[in-house]
Amino acid sequence: MLKSIIEEKLQAQIKKEASSSQLYLSMASWADMKGFSGAAEFLYHHSDEEREHMLKLIRFVNERGGHAEIPALSSPQKDFDSFQSVFKSILDHERKVTESINDIITACLKENDHSTNNFMQWYISEQMEEEQLANSILDKLKMIGDNMPSLYLFDKELSELTKNAHQA
C-alpha cells in the first residue's frame, strides 16, 4: 500500500510526464509546420515516450492500491524561435524532471518505501539518457546556427535517429 505522501508525489509526477508529452507534441507540430519532417518525427516520438512514462506511473500507483488521477493540463507553448530554443527548452525541462524524480527517491528513502524506490530507478537511468541526448543535440545546433544547408542535414540526422529508436 502506498503512503499518501508518496502517492501525492507520484501523482504530481504523472502530471509532469503528461505536460512533457504535450509540450513535445507542440514542438513536433511546430517543426512539422516549418517543413522539418525529421525533427518533427523525433519530437513526435519523444512525446510518445513521455506518454509511456506517464502510463507506467499510472499503472504503478493503481497496482499499489492507490488511485491515479488523470490531470487537466494547460496549453503548451505553440511557437518557437528556433531549433536551438526548442532543444534548450527540452534540456531545461528534463533537468527539472530529474530534480523531481530525485525528490521522489529522497521521500521513498525517508518513508522506507523500497518498492517505489526500486520502481523509480528506471526513471533515473531514463533521465540520464534524455539529458545527455538533448545536450548533444543542443551542442550541434550551437555549431550550426542559422546555416540552412546544415539545418537540412541536421533534420535528416534526426530522422535517422528516430528510425533507429523505433527499431531498438
Q: Which residues bind ligand FEO (CB under 6 A)?
A: 17, 20, 50, 53, 94, 97, 130
Q: Which of 69, 46, 74, 49 is nearest to 58 (CA)?
A: 69
Of 9 and 53, CB closest to ligand FEO: 53
**Residue that is written with C-alpha cell 537540412 in the block:** 152
Q: Which of 161, 149, 139 is nearest to 39 (CA)?
A: 161
Closest residue to ligand FEO, Cβ-based?
A: 53
Task: Name the grid cell of 123.
Answer: 526513471
Rounded Cα gap, residues 111 and 68, in angstroms: 20
Minimum distance between the CB of residue 24 and ligand FEO, rounded to whole angstroms?
Answer: 8
Minimum distance between the CB of residue 21 and ligand FEO, rounded to whole angstroms?
Answer: 8
Rounded Cα gap, residues 130 and 136, in angstroms: 10
Minimum distance between the CB of residue 97 and ligand FEO, rounded to whole angstroms?
Answer: 4
Of 20 and 116, CB closest to ligand FEO: 20
Rounded Cα gap, residues 39 and 156, in angstroms: 8
Of 130 and 155, CB closest to ligand FEO: 130
Q: Is 124 within 8 Å of 94 (Cβ atoms)?
A: no
Of 97 and 158, CB closest to ligand FEO: 97
Of 144 and 165, CB closest to ligand FEO: 165
Residue type, 32: D
Minimum distance between the CB of residue 47 and ligand FEO, rounded to whole angstroms?
Answer: 10
Q: Which of 138, 8, 120, 136 is nearest to 56 (CA)?
A: 120
Minimum distance between the CB of residue 130 and ligand FEO, rounded to whole angstroms?
Answer: 5
